[in-house]
Structure 1
Amino acid sequence: MRVAIMQPTYLPWMGYFNLIKSSDVFVFLDDVQFAKRSWQQRNKILLHGKEKYLTVPVKTKNAKSLQLSEVMVDDQQEWRKDHKNTLFHAYYNHPFGKEVWQEISEVLDGESDLLCEINISIINKICHKLNMNKKILRSNEIPVTGKKSEYLLKICQNLEAEKYLSAMGSKEYIEKESLFRNSKIQVVYQNYSPKTYHQFGCSGFTPYLSIIDLIANIGWEKVLDHFDENCFD
């Protein structure tokens, strides 16, 4: 069984969903420390041909000491309206932009004031639209403890994983700590490179954007052509 574990990020890129697609069980790592100005609260889109960050403001009091699952968004700022307006202007005239805008707007119009819940709702909605019916868990539901690769290993052991599918960004500390190497669980690292696609109104190509850029340009069905389950080393 293949297990992947990732923090729930805001409007993730295609590589994030490739990791979900390649796994049998996907775990949201929601009980890690919040990191301000990380992918936990922001991501990039393309607005009038230029990269633009969309950042979710959070209540900063004690935020650095909170777990991701505890961080509340700052609704005293009109960020939901701002993000919806920005996404509207960025993608509404794209071939599939209207539908993408409506799907994301439904989540932003919701009542949750927790960053983690908003992120997970967006990810789950996109997975559903892509017919990715995976078993999805949250790390705080799994009865194990630990730090860094020790925690990842214990989650995998609890789920009886044979392979752990890891993002490349975690390779350095996983290899340094060597805990997986001394276990029966094989670690494989995702080496995903985004395929090019036509970006509406642009002459070139800007990679590593939120998956909503891809969907708005080519539609839900053609996203399937951008998955790569053979990109693991």
Structure 2
Amino acid sequence: MPETLSCAVHQPNLFPRLSTLAKLARADVWVVLDDVQFNARDYQHRARLAAAADPEAQRWLTVPVHRPRGRDSRIGELRLADPAATHRTMSRLVRQYYGRCAHWAETGEIVEEVLAALALNEHLAVVAEVSVRAMLHRLGWRGDVLRSSELPARDGRSERLADLTAAVGASTYLCGPGGAKYLSERPFLDRGLQVRYPPPPPLSREPGMRTASALWAFAARGAAGVRDALAADCVPAR
């Protein structure tokens, strides 16, 4: 365990984008933000599959969910609306998009882990977290994963992030481009914490890659290729 830890706080995203994956891979600790309000327009229950030959040609892979408290439902409360149908759709679509790619074998292993999670539980957050873990594992990441619902934190946006960073014993918070738009550093400074803004990896800035799931990169380049593409900006923890 390094003396100085870095922390990333992010919702569990289904088959995350490269920029999200890179931020988490830079961190020593990923705090899964599972106790905030579900956003149906975000990437928590869906991913954009990019065509193998044309990454700008994309379609949504969506996991239908049941919100037990309507719009007030938290991410961790969401249940899979039809796990069996989702299993069939996910298996068919991902193979349709990437089954002929050079690195389908290892990409298919990532998908199989998620399909197994679909069969074993009924919560979206668990399934999405498995998809992230499966990718991080193949990048050689050996960090820790904790959940915000199990940690003490205040309600304010930046206050919550600062509290979560301190709660896991980290001294540095890694902030992505989206969070940089609203983040206030004051709560971090008050707790003696640092904020870093690592840039998105160059690969994520190529056509189509800003919105596409990292599945495309794994299928086209393999885990080693993705790791190399992120290496300049992203070093696995520990």
Q: Taking structure 2 as the reference length, what is the TM-score of the superposition?
A: 0.85
Please give the alpha-carbon distance, in whole angstroms, between the structure 2 residues aligned to 1:4 and 1:207.
Answer: 21
Higher relative contact order (CA 8 A, sep 6+): 2
Q: How many residues align?
A: 224
* Residue 187 (1) aligns with residue 195 (2): yes
Matched, 1:211 2:217: no
**Alignment correspondent of 1:5:** 9
**Structure 1 residues 168-218: Cα deviation after superposition (integer angstroms, max 9, x where no partner):** 11112213x742344421111232143279xxxxxx953221111001001
Q: Give the match for residue 96 of structure 2.
A: 89
CA distance in 2, matches of 1:230, 1:144: 30
What residue in structure 2 maps to residue 57 of structure 1?
64
Deviation string, structure 1 residues 136-189 (Cα, Å, up to 9, x no partner): 1111122334231111111122233221101111112213x7423444211112
Q: Residue type of the partner of 1:59?
A: H
Q: 1:136 to 1:47 in 2, by over 3 A?
A: same
Instruction: Identify the residue that residue 85 of structure 2 maps to in structure 1.
Output: 78
- Give SS of 1:32's match: coil
Name the Cα RMSD after superposition. 2.4
Secondary structure of 1:11's counterpart equals coil
Secondary structure (helix, strand or coil) at the match of 2:44 reads coil
C-alpha separation between the residues in 1 aligned to 2:36 and 2:13? 12
Aligned equivalents of 2:113, 2:33: Cα separation in 1: 24
Distance 1:230 1:103, change over 3 A: closer
What is the deviation of 1:61? Answer: 5.0
Query: 1:35: which partner in 2?
Result: 39
Q: Which digits, 9 at most, give the CA deviation of each residue in 1:30-65, with x for residues without a partner?
A: 111111131111121123632111111111453321
Higher helix content, 1 or 2: 2
**8 Å CA contact retained: 1:80, 1:108:** yes
Which range is displaced more, 66-75 or 36-45?
36-45
| 1:118 corresponding residue in structure 2 | 127
Looking at structure 2, the residues matched to 98 and 62 of structure 1 have their Cα atoms a distance apart, in angstroms, of: 40
Q: Deviations over 1:52-111 (max 9, x none)?
A: 111111114533211101101110772221121111110000001233124313322432
Aligned with residue 224 of structure 2, among 214, 221, 226:
221
Q: Which runs of 5+ in 2 are unaligned?
A: none
- Map 1:114-153; keep pairs closer than 5 Å: 114-153=123-162
Unaligned runs of 5+ in 1: 198-203
**In the alignment, what sits opposite 1:14?**
18
- The alpha-carbon deviation at position 129 of structure 1 amounts to 2.1
Change in CA separation of 1:228 and 1:76 when aligned onto 2, cut-off 3 Å: closer
The residue type paired with residue 78 of structure 1 is: A
**In the aligned structure 1, how far is the partner of 2:176 from the partner of 2:88?**
32
Q: Is the 1:4–1:26 Cα contact (8 Å) retained in structure 2?
A: yes
Note if contact 2:18-2:209 (Cα within 8 Å) is conserved in structure 1: no
Distance 1:159 1:102 in 2: 31
Cα distance in 2 for residues equivalent to 1:84 and 1:47: 16
* Distance 1:94-1:112 versus aligned 2 partners, 3 A rule: same
